[in-house]
Amino acid sequence: MSSAENHTLIDRAFLARSSRCGVRFLVPAVVVALALPAALAAQEGQAFDAGCSPLPFADIAVKHPIDDNCGIEGKSAADDANHAQNQAKNDFCAKGDPVTVTQDDFVKLQAAVKAAGIPFGSTKTLPADRAVLRDLITGSSGAKLGEGTKVRFVAFVLLAAAKQGAQPKGKAHYSDTNTGESVNCGEPGNEPNDIHIPTVQDSEPGADECASVTAEISPHSRPAGWTPKALNGAGVPLRFTGHLLFDGSHKPCADGKGNPKRVSSWEIHPVYAVDVCTGATLADCPAGDDSKWQPLATPPAPAPPASPPGR
């Protein structure tokens, strides 16, 4: 049955029932909205609603224009599977204590996806039912892992290889700034797009990006101190806490090639917290020892007002 025929049947059924009551109504907008394909349910122009409160970083959150004009499902041109993935990318609501994950856990999660025959590799091959992504494996900590698990992960931001005498540069950056991304309603520029963070277990410049695990900071309510510059300048291990997500739009590296390069299509997305280690090596920075960590670039508390003269 076509979409138009479906709408006509709904209209007739509603009007027939109304006529029996002696009253004729127009079909309510909510009924039509439910009958329309998800791809036509506009999200541009809608305020962002995470569906839970407060946000994990509410004390340092900053309001951005995208918070007023891009809903949780992202761009309206996307289909149902893309809408579902966009909503997962915007999930700030994972509760409880975070589960510590390792590089190997991300590799095993990717292997579990392949073994289960879950599609991935482009925006046209996304799983229709994301429930299959939950509780996929038992992780290195003994806890179940899958999409929606709140996790924490310790790694370095990948440093690009530098020419002799030059300072190596970190590879955290604003992504899709030219074209925008579906999850962010296709808006170009730095402000409305994610910060893509390739992380590795090696502090040396020029580490293999195909061994990297991706973390993504959403533009929604993004704290002022969470910038590529701050991330790239840390120089020590960082602890990322957030929602575990399967980004089926991407493929892991094969034969040294990937776009973007990564070891797994699983990400920490969105990031709920970024902490900087007081030590310099991974051994110095156990994920579960909070005494070793301090928040990234937390704005300083305002100075107390000056006392009036004579007091």
75 contact partners, CB below 8 Å, separation of at least 6: 43, 44, 82, 86, 182, 183, 184, 185, 186
**What pLDDT sits at residue 219?**
98
pTM to 2 decimal places = 0.83
**Cis previous bond, 54, omega within 30:** yes
Residues of the chain with pLDDT > 90, as a percent, come to: 76
> Does the structure show a pLDDT above 90 at 108?
yes
Look at 31-45, 149-163, 236-250 and tell me which has the smallest mean pLDDT.
31-45
**What pLDDT sits at residue 303?**
60
> Does the structure show a pLDDT above 60 at 122?
yes
Q: Higher pLDDT residue, 21 or 225? A: 225
Question: Domain coordinates of the chain in residue numbers?
Answer: 3-36, 58-295
**What pLDDT sits at residue 76?**
87
As a three-state string, the secondary structure of 150-219 is EEEEEEEECECCCCCCCCCCECCEECCCCCCCHHHCCCCCCCCCCEEEEEECCCCCCCCHHHCEEEEECC
Average pLDDT on 240-257 reads 95
> Does the structure show a pLDDT above 50 at 15?
no
**What pLDDT sits at residue 288?**
97
How confident is the model over 54-97, as pLDDT tens digits?
999 999 999 999 999 999 999 987 899 999 999 999 999 999 99
pLDDT band at 44 (very low <50, low <70, confident <90, very high): confident
Average pLDDT on 277-287 reads 97
> Does the structure show a pLDDT above 80 at 7?
no
Q: Higher pLDDT residue, 42 or 215? A: 215
